[in-house]
Amino acid sequence: MASKEINLLQAKQEISSESNRWKNLLLKVVTPFLFLFIAMAVLIIGVNIYLDQQLNSVKTQVDSELVLIKSMEKNEGIYMLLKQKATAISTIMQNRYAYDSVYNFVENLNQKGGKVLSLSISEAGNVSLSVEIPDTQTLDDFLKAIIADAEKRFNKVQLNGITYKPGTNYMISFTINAKNIKTN
């Protein structure tokens, strides 16, 4: 029998050239993408390292600012206390009344036959007095003296009442507005 020859190399060569064509195409297309991917990975890692350094720097600055703030807490307490005291003093200075005239007036009441039983001063500057008087003649003299003295010192004196309990003394109560003290 006669032998037949089959040339397998030609088919192998054709497959090989087709394979080389695909390899070359893949190398031309994949290589730039591979370099681009590696470049992006390096860039992302570099940005990550830079941002970590910035974050650590900011944390350090925040920590130093917190230490500085904590060291100033004592001063803040002192400043707040001083502010409160200054506000209180300002309020007091705005609501100051000439109580020395009222005090002198009350001292004169004791000298004119009256005995001061109670004295109260409201926030509005009203001074309420209750005075005990022993008899009718002293009451008459006392009222005349109060009216004369009060007209010189105050713009407003309000008589709240005169009471008498048989067998005891008279009691007179009145209110002076210390806001309206005359300056002459």
For residue 139, how many other CB atoms are within 10 A of its CB?
A: 20
Position 55 scores a pLDDT of: 95
pLDDT tens for the chain, residues 1 to 184: 567 776 665 555 555 677 778 788 888 888 888 899 999 999 999 999 999 999 999 999 999 999 988 888 888 888 888 899 888 888 777 766 666 767 777 777 777 777 888 888 777 777 888 888 888 888 888 888 777 777 777 777 788 888 887 777 888 888 877 655 544 4
* CA distance to 21, 85, 96, 176, 183, per residue, from 92 (Å): 100, 10, 6, 20, 20
As a whole number of Å, the end-to-end CA separation of the chain is 158
| Record: fold of 99-180 | Gyrase A; domain 2 (3.30.1360)
Rounded to the nearest 10 degrees, what angle do helices 9-71 and 73-94 cross at?
50
Distance CA(161)–CA(84), nearest Å, equals 41
In degrees, rounded to 5, the angle at the alpha carbon of residue 28 between the alpha carbons of residues 27 and 31 is 65
- pLDDT value at residue 14: 56
Residue-wise over 109-120: b if at least 16 C-beta within 10 A, else e?
A: beebbbeeeeee
Q: Is 127 within 8 Å of 102 (Cβ atoms)? A: yes
Please tell me the number of Cα atoms within 13 Å of 50 on its side-chain side: 6
Domain residue spans of the chain: 13-96, 99-180
Beta-ladder partners of 126: 177
Place of tokens 């190398």: 27
pTM greater than 0.75: no
Q: What was the pLDDT predicted at 125?
A: 72
- Rounded to whole angstroms, the Cα distance separating 23 from 20 reads 5
Beta bridge pairs of residue 132: 115, 171
